[in-house]
Every structure is written in structure tokens, then in C-alpha cells.
Chain A
Amino acid sequence: MQAALLRAARQVSGLSIQSIYEAYPDCVIDVKAEQAALAEAEVLVLQHPFYWYSCPSLLKEWIDSVFEFGWAYAGGTALKGKYWMQAISAGGPAEAYRREGYNHFTIEELLRPFEQTAYLCGMIPLKPFLIQGARAQTEGSLLERAGEYALLLERLKEGRFPERHSSL
């Protein structure tokens, strides 16, 4: 699933793609290099599977160490005005993410810590790209979703942003 999305993203030219589990298998992140890459960017897309209603641990570690005190917040403005977006694949079907469903909360609700992270850094959160029911995808539908993802990235590159996301 994630591999298919990554392949789709690699088809889009002009993106800066960092696969953190490949770059930092021993979990020690090169903070300076990551900050330099962020400084160049206009949009940050965090592409990850939805693990226990959050991101995988290394991505959390990446945020923890790269979004430094005094650089990203608390006087730091390095990320101010940049766009924040998440591309998420979740195993459960869309019906599960509501009060009556077994996950009880909507994806938007569950993503609130991320939303707030963006706010604190002065970033503008965009509506997430969601693939729900990831386990039930067929090869064909997967390819279709990957195509949609590539199209979205293409649009982001051209400055055509999807609607802003806010659960406030």
C-alpha cells in the first residue's frame, strides 16, 4: 500500500522525497539536513500508515527532533506559512471511524495532535489524503488510488491546494 503510494509519488517530477525508514534505520535523524530540506519546501506531505491512531514511531521521532525549539516554534519561524498535509492509509473501513463504529472517533478527530503541531509552527493544515479500508483494496483499486495520489501531488506542485483542514 505505502509502497504503491511511494512509487506513485516518485513518478511525479520535482518533488523532494525522503524515505525516513530507509535513511535512518538506526533511528538517529540528521536534524540539520532535514531542516535544510524543509526550509526549501512550500508544502510538507507526511505519507504514512495509520498506526494505533497515529503515525509510526520513527515519523514521530522525526517530528520530535526536527521541529526544534527555537527553530520551528517558541520564537522560531522556519515553518511559518508552509502547508501541512498527511497522506494516510488506514486498515479499517470508513464506517469504523464514527461514533457508532468500532473506532468511535473520526480520522479528523484522531489527527488533532498533528493539526495542533501545524498550528503551533504557523503552518496551514490541508485536508488529508485518505485511503481507508486499505486491507480490502484490490490491485486495481490500489492502482487507482495511487493515481489519485499522484494527481494530488501534481496539483500541490502547481499551487492548486485542496481545501484547508480544520477541526476547530
Chain B
Amino acid sequence: MNTHGLLGRVVVYLSAAVVAVPVSAFLGLGSVIGYLAAGMAIGPHGLGLISSVEDVMHFAEFGVVLLLFLIGLELNPRKLWQLRGPILGTGGLQVALTTAILAVALRGTGLSWNMAWLASMGFSLSSTAIALQLLRERNLMPTPAGQTSFSVLLFQDLAVIPMLAVVPFLGSAEASAGGDAPWISALKSVGAILAVVVVGRFLVRPVFRVIARTRLREMFTAFSLFLVVAIAALMQAVGLSMALGAFLAGVLLADSEYRHELEVDIEPFKGLLLGLFFISVGMSVNFDVLLARPLEIAGAVGAAVLLKAAVLLGVGRWTGLKGRECVVFGLALSQVGEFAFVLFGLGGQLGVFDAGTQAFLVLTVALSMLTTPFLFMADQKWIAPRFNRKGPTGIVPGSAASEPVQTKDGAVIIAGYGRFGQVVGRILHSRGVPTVFLDHDPNQIDLLRKFGQPAYYGDVRRLDLLHSAGAERARLLVLSVDDMETVFETARLVREHFPKLPMVARARGRVDAYRLVNLGIPVVRETFHSGLRAAELVLKELGLGAYEARRLVARFGAHDESRMRAAAALADDEKALISLAHEGRMELEKLMKGDEEQGRAATDDGWG
């Protein structure tokens, strides 16, 4: 097979992932190890199906960018500001301590100061991709350990920027990177960040609105991707971290009505690119170097992970993490991160390291990433049970207050905010029941948000939108979208994935109502009830008393509802339906005359 063409390579990547990841997940190892193993197998040092790791890695770093964009989407500026303490304090302490201790230790092994500093800076960083993926897979993000990990990772992503700026000064060769004076590049950076803020705050939403109005899904996806890629490109152009720019853009859009739709659109790209990133880490494991100096490498990996974990445990304890929380925090960030590759790459170019040292360090980083999933497994097997017995110090997944989705527990989700859903929503609102609106019409969403109602743009048939609207914790779902096929599809989806979520649906006509009745969903026929009210008015105009007219209409309504239910059971049998209809008409005639022929009316009810 020609694995040099683009298609050939794509086939190799995808097949390796499709084989290795499910196996790894099945063995309880999580997806990260699967991707890493796939990478090792197909890489230049494994089967050699792929030869150029660097290009892929560069491309796959985009997975990290998208990951940070998504993380940003879940954090609005207010929440970010609340996290400033952990980010600067805990993050700063961790990076400073790890760098200082490691630098001294590395100097002790005979490296020059410059080498020791650069190596230890790289080693102080952890892998956002691996740590967050692992924490998310285990639903530990909302716990204190998850939140602290996230804050520290965020600081590290920020810290990369000055670190990259320092590398040229550590090199023996004269700084060859860029000719700008420091103040010009600082100005550029500030300008770029300002541009992102202005664009994210004021320009993006109107554009999304226009695009949403076209109802072309793929345009929405295209624009979402364009947005992230463009910001990343801008950041790279001024020498800032792409991931950081994307994160910033995410934060700025966290409050927007398109948040859920953006999440839904970007998620698959993020997943695949992040997978590719892990594959490329796997591919960069150089078995030749490993075989040549196995003990040294193992020692270096062990020492790095151990030292990082030790510092993290200390810092974690200092911030007030207790017991198992602290262990999870220490383990989650114990690997060396992807930015180390970038730093060491630059260090190699600028002559801080010789090629041998660089290969050694890169291998150490890659192998340290491999250890984390196994450490997590070990934790779950041996460490977690000890804490669980103690109870309160154990972690309850998903229990923290900082859940990203704003849906309050016990909210009613109203899918479809037309004239119909509006009435339902207003009544619920008057009762103080929290509501969340979903609609595919940007104008409606816009209107709702002006009134301060939680409302999101998107297609309710998408499972992920329902998830992010909080369908697990909602009290009820009102299906009031115009398109009946959408109603049925959503109803089936909800039945399958949220079996405990009750639904109430609006049906356009009788046949739609049959289908909903057969699904066991309480149904309201849209025009039926207004028809009843009209009949009541007509009867009054014809001279019936208001009470009598209301009674007749109510009687008819109850009769028709019960016939409809009976007919629903026979919805596929035309003959049975016809005879049922005939029977129904006779019964109805009797019923409507009923009041007059018998009972009160027959003996003079005193009102006549």
C-alpha cells in the first residue's frame, strides 16, 4: 500500500485507531492508551507505515487548540475570574517549584545550567490533552481535583509564552528567531488579544445569527471551524499560543446562545484531532534510543514523573485538597506535556541541546505521557478503595457546583418556542418553574435572550444538544416544534437515552396524535382545543346558555379524546378504524342528546 499519499495515510491512521482504541477501552485502559499504542505500532520506529511524525504532530496539535476552545466555552468570564486564585497561585507555585528543583537536580547530573533550565521548564509543564481527557473520561472534571488540575493546566499554557521567549537567550547561537524588538512583539500580542476580544464579543454573534438564519447546518459548522482556525492562526502569527487564543475565544462565546451548537459542531473534530495527536506522540517514541539506553531512560521517566507528582501533592495539599482529591490531582498532572516537544524542538534548533540530548528528552516526555493512564488504573485499583472506605474524603464524580451547563435541576425544557411553546413557557414562568428553550430559529432565541430567558439555538434531534440542555436532570420535556417528524424523532431519542424524562407533545392533527399516543406520550392536538372554543362561541350565538354550551363542548371533547385513544391502537387497521368511527358517531349523538332526554333536563332541571 502506498502510505505516502494523503488518502493512504488517512487510512493507516483511522484503521489503527479503530482497531486499537476499542480494544483499549474494552480492556478498561481508556482511549488515550489505545491511541498511543496505535501510534507506536504504525510509527517510523514501529511498523514504519508512517515516516514523518513532525508534520502530523504539527497538524494534530490543533486537537489541543479545539480542546481548549471547548473548555473556554464552558467557562464564562465571570467563572474564569473566580478561578484567578487557583490559576495564578497554585499554577504558579507548581511551575516555579518543579522548574527550580529539577534544574538543580539536572545540573547535578552534569548538564550545563542552560540545558538544565530549559529541560526543567519543559518538564514542569503537564499535558492538557492527556490530563483533561483522563479526567473527563472518569467524570472527575467537576470535582475539586479536576478544577485544580484545570487551573494549573491553564497557567501552564500561559507560562509557555514567556518560556518560548526565553529559549533564544539560553542558546549558544545568537537568537535567530524574528527580528522584532521585544516591545514590538509585546504590542503585537496585546493587539491580537484585543482583536480576539472585540471580534468574539461584538462581531461573532451577529454573523452566527445570519448564518443560522440560512438554516444551512454545514455553514454553521464551517464558520465555527473557521473561527477557531483563524484565531489560532492570528495567535501563531504574533507568537502567542494557539491554544490560549482559542481558549480566549471560547470564554468570550460561553455566554452566547450558540454555545451548545458550537460545542456540538466542534466536538467530533476535537475528538479526532486529539486522537491524532496521541497517535503522533506514540509514533515519536524512538525505540532505537530506548534500546540503546534502556535503564537511563526508565530512570529519567521514573524520576521526572515521581518528582512532578511529589511537587503536585505538596502544592495540592497547600491549596487545601484533601485525601484522594490530592492523589487524583497529583497523578493527573504527573506526565510531561506536549509543549515540552515544542520547547525542546526550539532548544535543538537554537543549539541549547545537541541532537542526542534532545532525542533523549523527547523520548522521556513521550514515555512519561504513557505512564499516566496506567497510574490512573493503579489508582483506581489500589488507592481509591482505601479512600472510599473512609467515605467523605472520596470523590463523588459530577457532584460539584461548577457544572458547566446552566440548566437548573428540575427545569422544564421546551423544544420549540413558537406561539404554542410560548404559552406553556409563560405559565411555567409565572409559577417560578425554571425553563430552558431550544429552537432552530435564531430570531426566537434572540428575542428570548433579550428577556433574560435561557434559550439555545440548535436542532433538538441532536442528542448532544439535549445533553447540554440538561436533559438528564430536567423534570419534563415539552415537544412543541413545528415539524412533526422532528417531534417523533426527538421522542424516540429521549425514550432511548433519557428513559426517565417525561414528555408532553403537541400534535398537528389526528394522525400525528395517534403516533404519540402509541408512544405513550401525553398529547395535545393543536387545533382541536381552539376548535372546541369556537364551537362553544357558536352555540352561545345560537342561543344556548354559556354553561350549557361549555358543558356540551366539554362532553364532546372528552368523548373525542377517548375515541382518539381507542383509534390510536388500531391506527394501522383501516377497516377497524372505519367501523370504530361509525360506532363513535352513534355514541356521540346519543351522548350529546343525553342531557336533554334523560336526567335533569327531562324532569325540568329548574333552569329552563
Contact = CB atoms under 8 A, between A and B. Distances in A.
Interface stretch (B31-39, B112-120, B596-604): B596-604
B555 interface: yes
Contact of B602 (A26, A65, A69): A69
A95 interface: no
B554 interface: yes
A31 B555 CA distance: 11
Nearest to B552: A28
Nearest to B594: A31
Interface string B578-608: 0000000000000000100011101100000
B107 interface: no
B551 interface: yes
B536 to A, nearest CB: 12
A26 B529 CA distance: 14
A68 B554 contact: no
B598 A28 contact: no
A64 interface: yes
Given A28-B551, A30-B558, A64 B598 contact: no
A70 interface: yes
A31 B602 CA distance: 15
Contacts of B600: 64-65, 68-69
Contacts of B602: 69-70
Contacts of A64: 600
A68 B599 CA distance: 5
B169 to A, nearest CB: 78
Interface in A147-161: none
A68 B603 CA distance: 10
Nearest to B598: A68
Contacts of A68: 598-600
A28 B555 contact: yes
Contacts of B599: 31, 65, 68-69
Interface string B542-560: 0000000001001100100
B157 to A, nearest CB: 58
A28 B554 CA distance: 7
B135 to A, nearest CB: 47
A69 B602 CA distance: 8
B528 to A, nearest CB: 14
A23 to B, nearest CB: 10
A65 B602 CA distance: 12
Interface in B514-562: 551, 554-555, 558
B558 A28 contact: yes
Contacts of A74: 603
A93 B481 CA distance: 55
B101 to A, nearest CB: 64
A83 to B, nearest CB: 24
B598 A70 contact: yes
Interface in A25-41: 26-28, 30-31
B112 to A, nearest CB: 81
B46 to A, nearest CB: 69
Interface in A41-70: 64-65, 68-70
Contacts of B558: 28, 30
A70 B558 CA distance: 25
A74 B604 CA distance: 14
B596 to A, nearest CB: 13
A129 B600 CA distance: 30
Contacts of B603: 69, 74
A69 B598 contact: yes
Contacts of A27: 551, 554
A68 B602 CA distance: 10
A44 to B, nearest CB: 19
Interface in B399-422: none
A65 B598 CA distance: 10
A70 B551 CA distance: 22
A14 B594 CA distance: 32
Nearest to A69: B603
Nearest to A31: B599
Interface string A1-36: 000000000000000000000000011101100000
A157 B173 CA distance: 102
B145 to A, nearest CB: 44
Nearest to A64: B600
A76 to B, nearest CB: 11
Contacts of A70: 598, 602
A26 B598 CA distance: 21
A30 B554 CA distance: 11
Nearest to B554: A28
Nearest to A28: B554
Interface string A72-100: 00100000000000000000000000000
A120 to B, nearest CB: 13
A65 B554 CA distance: 15
Nearest to B602: A69
B582 to A, nearest CB: 20
A18 B554 CA distance: 20
A156 to B, nearest CB: 29
A68 B558 CA distance: 21
Interface in A126-140: none
Interface in B471-520: none
Interface string A107-136: 000000000000000000000000000000
Chain B CB within 10 Å — which of A28, A68, A74 has the most?
A: A28
Contacts of A69: 598-600, 602-603
Nearest to B551: A28
B364 to A, nearest CB: 69
A119 B598 CA distance: 22
A27 B547 CA distance: 11
A152 to B, nearest CB: 32
Nearest to A70: B598
Contacts of B554: 26-28
A27 B552 CA distance: 11
A33 to B, nearest CB: 10
A31 B558 CA distance: 13
Chain B CB within 10 Å — which of A68, A69, A70 has the most?
A: A69
A71 to B, nearest CB: 8
Contacts of A65: 599-600
A30 B558 CA distance: 9
B231 to A, nearest CB: 56
Contacts of A30: 558
Nearest to B601: A69
The 10 closest A-B CB pairs, nearest first, are A28-B554, A68-B599, A69-B603, A26-B554, A28-B555, A28-B551, A69-B599, A69-B602, A68-B598, A28-B558
14 contacts: A28-B551, A28-B555, A30-B558, A31-B594, A31-B599, A65-B600, A68-B599, A68-B600, A69-B598, A69-B599, A69-B600, A69-B602, A69-B603, A70-B598
Interface of A: 26-28, 30-31, 64-65, 68-70, 74
Given A26-B554, A30-B558, 7 more contacts: A28-B551, A31-B594, A64-B600, A68-B598, A68-B600, A70-B598, A74-B603
